[in-house]
Structure 1
Amino acid sequence: MPESEDPKKVTNNDLRNAQFGGGFINADTVNAQRIGGDIWNLFLGQQLAPVGNPQREHNQRLLLADVKQEVASRLKQSLHNVVLINLGKESQPQQVKRLWDAEVKIGLKPPEPIPDTTRIIDVFDSVDVAGKLLILGAPGSGKTTTQLELAQALVKRAEEQPDCPVPVLFNLSSWKDDRQSITDWLLAELKSKYGVSKKLSKEWVNNHQLLPLLDGLDELEPQRQELCVSIINQFLGSENRPLYLVVCSRSEEYSNYSAQLQLNGAIYLQPLTNNQISDYLTTIKYTKIWSSISSDLDLLELVKTPFLITFHEVIQDGNNFFHAFQIPSNKYSFSS
């Protein structure tokens, strides 16, 4: 079919009668830009402006704007939206296998607590980690939120410094083909999620202009998780190996793998402390809840999980709080 007759072709950003995902686009409600020949940034009535230093390539500034909006939107849905809690972190270098460990014969380095004031960007930038980090934790411990906080700091850095790579969020649960390399998967995800052409994505990956942040390793089918670790390690050892890479996983699943990620460092997110819980409840004006749960060891242990401490999203009063966690509400009393 001649190009002029192909209804799927989009020229000069004219979306009238164009097809996308098998359906027709209404050009009156959708704005779009293009990157590398593909439709880019499809929003209902909204078009993101490029962000960052104008010295950076225009297409990368468009991607940076998209990632910035995604990070901000997802953080609004987390505990971060109410009060930022700097989660406790423990360095666990024994959870990764650095490439030089085979040559340098050293004993297993035990876990070490990281100072409370240390931010995740400080861990990422540390000499030992050098931008290749594994984030571990129990279910609901704040792994994804911690990765989003890191992404936020990296976006800010990329906006200010045009030579810094663009951080991009990926979820490993979409890795469906056991034979697909991480490089090919990244190119496919950049096209499907952000609308970046594979040609341009490949150029960025090869030139180390992207900083992949991988979440959801434990969301893969159990029998495929360890295989994914091996595929990631192949990526880390390839000719186009990334300068920086961050991976998130539940610690229980990860500890069962015979293979370890070939990253430079790993941290384990600690449960909330009593002071953090008390400060959080004071901030959201639920001090009476703290006076009730602080004397109950079972309940106190429950709310040390950051995911469960997001009271502002699950309670309107004491009874709803206990219902959300299947705790008998008649055990406690609240007054407004």
Structure 2
Amino acid sequence: MTEPSKQFPIRATTSGFGSVLKLGAVGRRRNGLVNSQAEKLAETMSRHCRREEENRGLYDPGPLAVRWRARTALGAGKEEDTIADVYRNLPGERLVVLGEPGSGKTMLTIRFVQEFVRDRAASDPVPVIFSLASWDPARLSLRDWLIERLLRDHTGMDAQVPGGTSLAAELVEDGWILPVLDGFDEIASGLHDRALEALSCSTLPWLLTSRLGEYEKASRPLGRSAAIELSGVTAADLSAYLPDTGEWAPVLAEIEAHPEGRLAKVLRTPLMASLARKVHSGAESPSALLDAKRFPDEATTEEHLLGGFVPAAYRDCRRWDPDDARRWLGHLARLGTRDLAWWELGGVVSRFRRIASVVVAVSLLTALFDWMIYMPVYSAESGMAKGVRTALLEGMFFAPTAGIVFGLIYGVITMRGHVVRPSRVRLRLRGPRTGRSLRGSIALGLSGGFGLGIGYGVVTTLLRVFFDELFGDVPEEVTIADVLVMTVVNSIAWGLIFAVAGGAVLGLAAALESPLDIRREFDPVSLLVENRVTALRQAAALVPAVTLMFVLSSLLVIVLLDGVVAVLEWQPLGLLAIGGISGCVGALGYLVTFTAWGQWLILARFWWPVTGRMPWAMIAFLEDAYELGVLRQSGANYQFRHERLRDHLARH
């Protein structure tokens, strides 16, 4: 039997309840670290949702009611119960929220998190909103996907806990996370049935939102779940929500007189009601909506509101021209992804261009630092003119070698589908560890260092053979066979030196990684700033570390190989200079190749503004779009306010 329609104002309520939340509390272990981290996560989610409410204008000018009716039995409850109260009274601990596009499903999840956290007991799970658009149930189970998203969107989640697992895995496996799964309809086409099967088989509690049509098309129902359906906004709701200026009176009168008419059907969803208030609170009177010739049907009326929202949002913004803002937002909309993560924006560039960008960036930076270090050294040895020519020539040959080596490593990584994500760690002698594989870090340092050393050995040998007037040290009677032997010996020796130094440095860095505090904010801008600082600190630490390890590994290789393959000489000052350059090259190559901030810098920060797709102050533009209510934030990602707005901007 269908229950009477109820409403949830989008604001805090003061309803109390006496029911005890089950939700598997007895199964959660009493781990002090995990308990405290769950408390911090709850505080973070509450702050985030409160800011989302403010930025979406859910209190302006008054709370817009989100009404619903039950599709299944909901258990014991009171008429004034909030959505959190309803959920706590469910026997099955699973609730499906259904509604038409723009009916307020996401608004309701934000309110649910606020209400749940406000009355949360110490043993209760923490509600966390997850965007289901990125879940591929054919690739990852629900639990593994939740762990992956926690690691991606929240700081401190990769900290090791007793038992060797990450904090994210511990929170999910022990039932400390209450997944609020938003956007079932946004899962890739063809995977809905598989997703429902995974949700039904899972023992986790959850709250799920979906468009009504996509949910009903699925071939199987969700077991052990209750369901509610969001209903439309009434004329009374609109009267309380719209500005009390008298200009809206003709529109409200039309809706009351024709409850099944064009305007009533368009403005029955919170999305269209909020767009109408924004678009027609400026130059154009709300009475324009009554023009049946201009807006003959619902589709044209909705297109008008969607098309007028961005100009209305930027109407009083002097920093950005509305037409430019619409064009830039249209480019973001055409990316075809719900989550707009700043570290993934460069991923829309073709793989060839990304690899080429890495090669060029590393080559230019290597040449710059090579010239800065070697010009004074060579000038002091052989005079200014010869020293400058020698340094320029060596930098021109060695820089592309370094760029190609880093480009090849980056190409191999990206071909395997790896995405460089923001670092959530810092280097500390003491503190919890991330548990990142030492073997993988050492292997990366060994392989990358060996490749760089081979390239350096080939370059130095050829320079001394073909430009002996600058570099010298090669007898006149040298043969081609001698050159080949010299090249092989130099390549092996330098390859071993660079490999030992690289493996030792990256292995030590992995051993000293400590996760960031979970209380740190995880919005896109703070994550970008945090990652920039972390990346620059890591690069700065790499320079002396690589230099020192290079000198030590040189001594080790010379001691082991001297007399075995050739006569090797120990030249401390020369090796120190090469080590300094190697430290700079390794640090800069690591910065642009293996850090999210470096990838953002060379692939998105400059490429997009140069091609006119985004402004130079890209992050400032995204933040302003968020403050103006065009974008929203989900964890560390931006998203468009609604999929319908995104689709409209993509089409136009």
Which TM bucket (shorter chain)? 0.5 to 0.7
1:275 aligned onto 2:236 = yes
Kept after mapping to 2: 8 A contact 1:132/1:265: yes
1:142 aligned onto 2:104 = yes
Kept after mapping to 1: 8 A contact 2:143/2:173: no
SS across alignment from 1:81? coil
1:217-263 deviation digits (Å, cap 9, x = unpaired): 1011221122211122222xxxxx22x31000001110011112224
1:92-129 deviation digits (Å, cap 9, x = unpaired): 12xxxxxxxxxxxxxxx8x9xx987442123212245x
Opposite residue 72 of structure 1, the aligned amino acid is R
Separation (CA, whole Å) in 2 of partners of 1:67 and 1:324 = 39
Separation (CA, whole Å) in 2 of partners of 1:89 and 1:116 = 12
Cα distance change of structure 1 residues 306 and 204 upon mapping to structure 2, 3 Å threshold? same
Separation (CA, whole Å) in 2 of partners of 1:123 and 1:79 = 25
Aligned residues: percent identity?
Answer: 23
SS across alignment from 1:88? strand
Q: 2:264: which partner in 1?
A: 300
Kept after mapping to 2: 8 A contact 1:165/1:211: yes
Q: 2:198: which partner in 1?
A: 231
Pick the aligned partner of 2:122 from 137, 140, 162. Answer: 162
1:313 aligned onto 2:313 = no
Pick the aligned partner of 2:83 from 120, 128, 152. Answer: 120
1:324 CA drift (Å): 9.3
Kept after mapping to 2: 8 A contact 1:322/1:328: no
Kept after mapping to 2: 8 A contact 1:319/1:329: no
Cα distance change of structure 1 residues 79 and 265 upon mapping to structure 2, 3 Å threshold? farther
Q: 1:255: which partner in 2?
A: 216
Q: 1:74: which partner in 2?
A: 52
1:278 CA drift (Å): 1.8
Farther-moved stretch of structure 1 (192-201 vs 136-145): 192-201
1:81 CA drift (Å): 2.3
SS across alignment from 1:248? strand
Cα distance change of structure 1 residues 286 and 325 upon mapping to structure 2, 3 Å threshold? closer
Kept after mapping to 2: 8 A contact 1:141/1:269: yes
1:57-136 to 2 correspondence within 5 Å? 57-78=35-56, 80-82=58-60, 83-93=62-72, 117-128=80-91, 130-136=92-98
Q: 2:444: which partner in 1?
A: none
Kept after mapping to 1: 8 A contact 2:94/2:225: yes
Cα distance change of structure 1 residues 62 and 314 upon mapping to structure 2, 3 Å threshold? farther
Kept after mapping to 1: 8 A contact 2:137/2:198: no
1:294 CA drift (Å): 3.9
1:71 CA drift (Å): 1.0
Separation (CA, whole Å) in 2 of partners of 1:185 and 1:324 = 45
Q: 2:133: which partner in 1?
A: 173
Cα distance change of structure 1 residues 227 and 131 upon mapping to structure 2, 3 Å threshold? same
Kept after mapping to 1: 8 A contact 2:242/2:277: no
SS across alignment from 2:220? coil
Spell out structure 1 runs of 4+ moving beyond 6 A. 322-327
Separation (CA, whole Å) in 2 of partners of 1:155 and 1:325 = 43
> Could you state the TM-score of these two structures normalised by the residue count of structure 2?
0.35
**Bigger radius of gyration:** 2
Separation (CA, whole Å) in 1 of partners of 2:200 and 2:272 = 33
1:51-76 deviation digits (Å, cap 9, x = unpaired): xxx99833223322321122112222
Question: What is the RMSD of the two structures over their aligned residues, measured on CA atoms?
Answer: 3.3
1:70-97 deviation digits (Å, cap 9, x = unpaired): 211222244622222332211112xxxx
Pick the aligned partner of 2:168 from 201, 222, 238. Answer: 201
> Could you state the TM-score of these two structures normalised by the residue count of structure 1?
0.66
Cα distance change of structure 1 residues 182 and 312 upon mapping to structure 2, 3 Å threshold? same
1:216 aligned onto 2:183 = yes
Separation (CA, whole Å) in 2 of partners of 1:232 and 1:199 = 23
Kept after mapping to 2: 8 A contact 1:218/1:250: yes
Separation (CA, whole Å) in 2 of partners of 1:220 and 1:62 = 30
1:148-180 deviation digits (Å, cap 9, x = unpaired): 11111112123xx21111111101111136131
Q: Which runs of 5+ in 2 are unaligned?
A: 1-31, 159-164, 297-652
In terms of fraction of residues, the more helix-rich structure is 2
Separation (CA, whole Å) in 1 of partners of 2:206 and 2:295 = 49
SS across alignment from 1:121? helix
1:282 CA drift (Å): 5.1
Opposite residue 218 of structure 1, the aligned amino acid is D
Farther-moved stretch of structure 1 (277-286 vs 63-72): 277-286
Aligned length: 252
Separation (CA, whole Å) in 2 of partners of 1:278 and 1:67 = 32
In terms of fraction of residues, the more strand-rich structure is 1
Larger relative contact order (C-alpha < 8 A, sep ≥ 6)?
Answer: 1
Cα distance change of structure 1 residues 138 and 71 upon mapping to structure 2, 3 Å threshold? same
SS across alignment from 1:223? coil
Cα distance change of structure 1 residues 314 and 294 upon mapping to structure 2, 3 Å threshold? same
1:182 aligned onto 2:110 = no
